[in-house]
Amino acid sequence: MSESFGERLKRLINKEFESVSEFARKIKKSSKTVDTWLPSPTRERLSRPRKQEDLDAIAEALKVSVAYLLTGEDSLLEPKGIATPEELGTVAYVNLINVTVGAGNGHYVQSEEVIEVLEISKFFLRAYGLSEPFKCSAVTVIGPSMEPLLRSGDIVLVDHLQTTPQDGIYVVRLEDTVYVKNVAKLLGNKVRVFSLAEGYPVHEIAADSPDFAIIGRVVWGGRRF
């Protein structure tokens, strides 16, 4: 079972600080506030910070990236591993589809169409955990709700093999609308679907609800400058 946000935060605090109180002073929060982010056997609902400035302060204090803080991975930032001789100079083909994933109010989806086939090195895909190119796709992000990690116009690679909800960034369906959002596991077979930016709805829903589905996990994001 993967590490939850609260478990990861607790582990990192124990590694870098003598106490929760010391950590709370470092990020200019009360110990009571920090405690709501940590796992507790007596608390049914798990919480975590939503303000970007809080996430930035926590990540800096704990000497990790915001991506690692949220997902337990730095996969959106840097690849892992080195190329094998067989991978050098070889490419795989990944479909760029016309579905736009809403980082905001979402997008209604009626159909999917391949608009381009991307040539991507096999090493690059493997470095981001994509060992089966035909089980992933590239889609475009629309909207600002996942800033600064993902911005409108970014292209993201989605691993369609990762459909079991864990803490991370996913392309999800809520009813008939598709979003790219943070997903957090809650107790009682529920998930929380929410944005990085403020002012967007937070959805809590049963993981097996017919109105919810995980399309795949976002493992890489790129943008034009």
How buried is 7 (Cβ within 10 angstroms: 0-12 exposed, 13-18 middle, 19+ buried)?
middle
Averaged pLDDT, 93-112? 63
**What percent of the chain is predicted at pLDDT more than 90?**
20
- How do residues 202-219 score in pLDDT, each as one tens digit? 889 999 999 999 999 998
- The answer for 156, left when phi > 0, alpha when psi is -120 to 50, beta otherwise, is beta
Among 59-63, 72-76, 163-167, the range scoring the smallest mean pLDDT is 72-76
The domain locations on the chain are 5-64, 91-222
Sign of the C-alpha dihedral computed for residues 83, 225, 145 and 40 taken in this order: positive
Averaged pLDDT, 45-57? 77
* Confidence band for 77, pLDDT divided at 50, 70 and 90: very low
If one compares 114 and 170, the residue with the highest pLDDT of the two is: 170
Averaged pLDDT, 71-93? 64
pTM > 0.75: no
143 contact partners, CB below 8 Å, separation of at least 6: 102, 103, 104, 105, 152
- The whole-number pLDDT of residue 25 equals 94
Among 56-65, 98-107, 126-135, 201-210, the range scoring the smallest mean pLDDT is 98-107
DSSP H/E element including 13? helix 5-16
CATH topology assigned to domain 5-64: 434 Repressor (Amino-terminal Domain) (1.10.260)
- How do residues 154-201 score in pLDDT, each as one tens digit? 888 899 888 988 888 899 988 888 888 888 888 888 998 988 777 888
Q: Is the model's pLDDT at 110 over the cut of 70? A: no
Tell me, what amino acid is at 183?
V
The domain 91-222 is classified under which CATH number: 1.10.10.10, 2.10.109.10, 3.40.50.720, 3.30.1480.10? 2.10.109.10
5-64 and 91-222, same CATH topology:
no
